[in-house]
Amino acid sequence: MKRLVIVGGGYGGLKILQDMLEGGLPKDVHITMVDRNPYHSLKTEFYAIAAGTKADREVRIDFPEHDQVDYVFGEVMEINIQNQQVVVREHTDPVPYDDLVIGLGCEDNYHGIQGASEYTQSVQTFKKARKAGFEVGNLNAHGKVAVVGAGLSGIEVASEIRESRPDLNIRLLDRGETVLRPFDPKIQEYVEDWFKRNDVEVIHHANVEYVERDGVCNNGICFVNDVTIWTAGVRPNKLVRDLPFEKDPQEKIIINDYYQVPEQPNVYIVGDCASSNYSPSGQLAGQQGEHIASILLALYNGKEPDKPKEIKLKGSLGSLGKSDGFGNMMQKPVTGLLPRLAKSGVLWLHKRH
């Protein structure tokens, strides 16, 4: 029996599992999925958990059931490459593998800023997003919220909290001259205007020096606030950073054309942990997962796998509350209700599949 272990049931890991089950998994292959949660988490919707606008059940999906699939739920403590085992907290026996897929995702990058890890909330895991939602939801009237980072996550968190709690004072700290730097200027201007119209203060050229329990110090000025949410960058999971493989400047593992680690070809990397020319996203991880599933199915059926096709992303979508949004659709910048509906449609399709 060949043992395939998928560590991480995110967008990439789940896509691999689904495609292999639907593509004719040979009877002599057994798959073990390892994840901290007993469900697939829709990470792109964690901002709504932090804002209190969606219930937990709306942003999670049950893993598929199959005779050739087992699940191990718990925190991964170690990936032992030498012994080909995965060690999971509260599980006595390690999980052995013949082939391994690593899709552990990313975590917050605090850039060495004092107090950031101790005194800020996060939307990088389901548990942390819940805690952020608890803190925001329990604020008294006219409480103060600071969101550090004006990329896609920061924009969605700040706008969703504004829609959820019109009474709160919300401040968004942006390191650059404008929000959403990778996006088209039309989108940047639209989002900036949305924040002005909805009374969200945006501070550009921010340089957070340190964070305290009740405030953020930026460019020599300390802002008092009740909750600080960190969305100012990510890095691969620490377990991945500690693996003895070659990495790129972003600490992601360098892979070959078949998503394998060159020095360990029975190890595959998917999603935020894999070196790529593209920014991390659920869409990217899903396409990578589709390619890896095809490669593994070919190998398990005794065939030479085809070289994966070039990644082709369909664009990015973001929300500004429940009825407004932005995005690149068909290589054109689009704002307003249409991209918001498109994002809801993508989510619906993902959950349905």
Cβ distance 63 to 38 under 8 Å? Answer: yes
Beta-bridge partners for 287? none
Helices of type H across 114-236: 116-119, 126-137, 152-164, 185-197
CA–CA gap between residue 352 and residue 2 (Å, rounded): 30
What is the pLDDT, as a whole number, of residue 335?
Answer: 96
Any residues with CB less than 8 A from the CB of 233 and at least 6 apart, and which? 108, 109, 111, 149, 151
Q: Are 255 and 275 in contact (CB under 8 A)?
A: yes
CATH among 1.10.1740.10, 3.50.50.60, 3.40.50.150, 3.40.1390.10 for 2-36+74-107+234-301 = 3.50.50.60
Instruction: Spell out the per-residue pLDDT of the chain, length 353, in tens.
Output: 999 999 999 999 999 999 999 999 999 999 999 999 999 999 999 999 999 999 999 999 999 999 999 999 999 999 999 999 999 998 999 999 999 999 999 999 999 999 999 999 999 999 999 999 999 999 999 999 999 999 999 999 999 999 999 999 999 999 999 999 989 999 999 999 999 999 999 999 999 999 999 999 999 999 999 999 999 999 999 999 999 999 999 999 999 999 999 999 999 999 999 999 998 999 999 999 999 999 999 999 999 999 999 999 988 999 999 999 999 887 899 999 999 999 999 888 887 76
Written out in words, the top-level CATH class of the domain with range 110-232+315-351 is alpha beta
Same fold, 2-36+74-107+234-301 and 110-232+315-351: yes
Q: What is the reported pLDDT for 156?
A: 98
Q: Which two tokens stand for residue 118?
A: 């101790």
Domains in the chain: boundaries: 2-36+74-107+234-301, 110-232+315-351
